[in-house]
Structure 1
Amino acid sequence: MNALDVSDLSFAYGARQALNQVGFSLAPGRFAALLGPNGAGKSTLIALLTRLYDLQRGEIRVGGHSMREHPRPALKQLGVVFQQSTLDLDLSVEQNLRYHAALHGLSRRQSGQRVDAELARQGLSERRGERVRELNGGHRRRVEIARALLHEPRLLLLDEATVGLDPASRLALNQHLRNLCREQQLSVLWTTHLLDEVLPSDDLLILHQGRLVASGQAAALSLEHGGDLGAAFNRLTTVGATR
């Protein structure tokens, strides 16, 4: 069963079509990068995947559950890290995680076990008592990832997660997420505008003017459309480009 299936997804703001018949799937344990210029429809897609917007046309299934017909079990399969941090800076790392666990209905015992496990996985066990405002940007992102994984989702969605991080922190976070894909069979959908965050082995989705103009392994798409990722991206997202 795929972690994510999107089919025939269309969305309009009045007369303006933001997404037009978008469809793709994400298999277990895969890291997929979502690229697109400003106005391509990435933000609209993220809003639909997280149910900030209601579906107009098409279908989204997370872990086999329909977002339209069974939104609660679908959302339980989804962990989200938004571009803007939503951590409480004056609470400790552990307090932030326990609060989120309570929102998901975890018992105190379950909460304690999963908080311990995620802090260890993120390399943050020794910082559990520190206030979030005392952490650097890279560690705050790791806290957000730990929080998003507490309820054991099949799919982790990260929206421009490295904005504001220094190059070393960007690289470390990128590598850490790929390790989670390999070790936990977690699937990751990563939206970015930075081409150097995409590896040749990644799944790649390119949006342009509301359409999915390319999907497949990054290395294969690069060869098919110009020889390297930058050339392929420019060719596929020039004005008037079609699928």
Structure 2
Amino acid sequence: MTEPTASAPPGLAVEHLSFGYGAELVLRDVTFSVEKRRFCALLGPNGAGKTSLFALLTRLAMPRAGRIGIDGLDLAGAPRAALSRMGIVFQQSTLDLDLSVRSNLSYYAALRGLYGRDAARRIDAALDRLGLRDRAGVKARELNGGHRRRTEIARALMHGPQLLLLDEPTVGLDPESRAEITRHVHALCETEGITVFWATHLVDEVAPGDDLVILHQGRVLARGVAAEVAGDRPLEAVFLDMTARSA
């Protein structure tokens, strides 16, 4: 994880971000950056502030202080341009269960102003990218949890974003589906050069070479490459020790 430079702004920059409800702060001076084309895991226990951070990144909430940069764009100063560079997968599913996989993607394409051959080409590419071509005509309610998540990821990538945000994307999935989704998104990052910011409370979703931000009680406890943060100990043990000490 590197610091931003004038010539190469990071895919995501969060600087001195604070946020709260009433008098209670849930994020306190949060600062980190994610290089372009890197997979960064935001690791924290439930209640750490991960979802609040995602609300700020997607403009569903406004910070009390601090700045967010998306691919060199200031989110507050140029929100439409910055948001157009993001693909987002929220923790709760947002698929229309009565529509087929292809119809869900078509509806999203229309919302993005994509029509005709361009939309069809992007939909086919998204289906192929996530291995969903054989399920294109299946209603979303008939899919298992893993394929619903794949559909949401395919949808989030249709407009060609530079940054993909995923908030606890494997919640509720069985272990095999969790591992499959994690592998898919890591592969997207490596093969297509997408910057990924993946929130999770599960240590086994973090690969040794991933960038890592550990968040607890609204504060950043550690940041860096996962293997370097762990040192000569298992990452799970380091994570548990950090969060226990700061409890």
Question: TM over 0.5: same fold?
Answer: yes
* Structure 1 counterpart of 2:53: 45
5+ long unaligned stretches in structure 2: 1-8
Q: How big is each residue's C-alpha offset from its partner over 1:146-178, in whole Å with a ceiling of 9 and x where there is no partner?
A: 000011111111111111111111111111111
Superposition pairs for residues 57-206 of structure 1, below 5 Å? 57-206=65-214
Alpha carbons of structure 1 residues 164 and 38: separation in structure 2 relative to 1, 3 Å: closer
Which amino acid is the alignment partner of residue 238 of structure 1? A
> Residue 155 of structure 1 contacts residue 188 of structure 1 at CA under 8 Å; is this kept in 2?
yes
Identity %: 55
Structure-2 separation of matches of 1:184 and 1:161: 20
Structure-2 separation of matches of 1:134 and 1:105: 28
Q: How big is each residue's C-alpha offset from its partner over 1:191-239, in whole Å with a ceiling of 9 and x where there is no partner?
A: 111111111111111112211110001111011xx71112211221125
Q: Find the partner of 1:25 among 22, 27, 33.
A: 33
Q: Secondary structure at the match of 1:5?
A: strand
Which amino acid is the alignment partner of residue 101 of structure 2? V
* Structure 1 counterpart of 2:246: 240
Structure-1 separation of matches of 2:107 and 2:182: 26
Which amino acid is the alignment partner of residue 137 of structure 2? G
Q: Cα offset for 1:141?
A: 0.7
Question: How high is the TM-score relative to the length of structure 2?
Answer: 0.93
Q: Secondary structure at the match of 2:244?
A: coil
Which amino acid is the alignment partner of residue 67 of structure 2? E
Which amino acid is the alignment partner of residue 213 of structure 1? L
> Residue 55 of structure 1 contacts residue 68 of structure 1 at CA under 8 Å; is this kept in 2?
no
* Structure 1 counterpart of 2:4: none
Q: What value does the CA root-mean-square deviation take over the aligned residues?
A: 1.3
Q: How big is each residue's C-alpha offset from its partner over 1:28-47, in whole Å with a ceiling of 9 and x where there is no partner?
A: 22111111123221111011
Structure-2 separation of matches of 1:41 and 1:128: 36
Question: How high is the TM-score relative to the length of structure 1?
Answer: 0.95
Structure-2 separation of matches of 1:126 and 1:56: 46
- Give the number of aligned pairs: 239
Are residue 9 (structure 1) and residue 56 (structure 2) matched? no
Q: Cα offset for 1:186?
A: 0.5
Which amino acid is the alignment partner of residue 99 of structure 1? Y
User: Which structure 1 residue ranges, 4+ long, deviate > 6 Å from structure 2?
Assistant: none
Q: How big is each residue's C-alpha offset from its partner over 1:124-164, in whole Å with a ceiling of 9 and x where there is no partner?
A: 11211111111111111110000000111111111111111
Q: Cα offset for 1:109?
A: 2.1
* Structure 1 counterpart of 2:233: 227
